[in-house]
Chains A and B, each alone.
Chain A
Amino acid sequence: MRNPSLIKEEFLKRWIIALRRCTSLKKNMNILERNKVVKLSADLAMASARNGTTSWSRALIANATRDNDNRILAEQILGPESEILVKRVSTMPFKTCNRRKIRSKRILKRSCSSAIRRVRKTVPRKVLANCIAKRLIQKRTHILKSLVPGGEFMDETTLMEETLDYIAYLRVQVDVMRSCTYC
């Protein structure tokens, strides 16, 4: 894993450049716009610091540049040097629609609970416990996939690696933002 203080420097540098670009774009922002700018520039600075080497960073940039409301702002933040990266992530798969997710979750829940009911009558407790444990793992893996950007399209192994990297970068983001806010 990379040295965290190097990551911090990289993130801070990119974030400040991004903030300057945004403020030069529009001088007088209201509080909501400013909030959006701060958050988006921090997220994109974090993702671009990874330079497209990880799936989550590419997914984060892809989602930001595809969102119609924020696309121009996102591209402004990323700047001309990231043009190649933006083109590269434009080929990534789309985030799945929420309605589809909820419906398939309900179907999965219904089929699993009926399977458990059937199993409970004929199978010993230990096997049942394993089955429940497996279900828990599946459910929580699914939640983790929704938390990590681009997670829905990853297999299990990649998801684990990406999660570790994502957490490391999130911590850096939080540390830097905290020290900026409370300096």
Chain B
Amino acid sequence: MSSRRSTQSGTSRITDDQIIELVSKLRQLVPEIRNRRSDKVPASKVLQETCNYIRSLHREVDDLSERLSQLLATIDADSAEASIIRSLIAQ
């Protein structure tokens, strides 16, 4: 399939080499793609998994910052936990 795509590569916007490179690097980063062989993963699937992964990371950051801000609100007065944070800062 990849050879067929490359003959039309005049019009295709992402080349096969870029896809292969992206897949090999993404395999280490994105859990979903890790189990599939690189030559069987179509470009659209790679892009879809990448987008989903970025979205889930964004959601997690939002969720964590919300939790952390709630935590910070409660520890302001408490000196024991404040000293833990201080030791974290000192690292």
Contacts and interface: CB of A to CB of B under 8 A. Distances in A.
B5 interface: yes
A157 B55 CA distance: 21
Interface string B41-64: 011100110110111011011101
| B interface bracket (residues with beta carbon within 8 Å of A) | 35 or more
B51 A140 contact: yes
A141 B70 CA distance: 36
A163 interface: yes
Contact of A140 (B12, B48, B84, B88): B48
B14 A156 contact: yes
Determine which residue in B21, B61, B66 has the highest number of CB atoms from chain A within 10 A of its CB, and name it. Answer: B61
Contacts, number: 108
A37 interface: yes
Given A140-B44, A143-B51, A157-B18, A38 B13 contact: no
A70 to B, nearest CB: 14
Given A171-B29, A177-B68, 12 more contacts: A16-B88, A35-B65, A35-B66, A38-B72, A39-B65, A42-B65, A133-B44, A140-B47, A163-B50, A167-B26, A167-B50, A178-B60
Interface in A8-51: 12, 16, 20, 31, 34-35, 37-39, 42-43
Interface of A: 12, 16, 20, 31, 34-35, 37-39, 42-43, 130, 133-134, 136-138, 140-141, 143-144, 147-148, 156-157, 160, 163-164, 166-168, 170-171, 173-174, 177-178, 180-181, 183
17 contacts: A16-B89, A39-B61, A42-B61, A133-B42, A133-B43, A137-B43, A137-B44, A140-B47, A140-B51, A147-B58, A156-B14, A160-B14, A160-B22, A164-B22, A164-B29, A174-B57, A178-B60
Interface of B: 4-5, 8, 11-14, 18, 21-22, 25-26, 29-30, 42-44, 47-48, 50-51, 53-55, 57-58, 60-62, 64-73, 84, 88-89, 91
> Which 4 residue pairs across A and B have the least CB separation, nearest first?
A140-B47, A136-B44, A39-B65, A34-B69
B67 A181 contact: yes
A168 B61 CA distance: 14
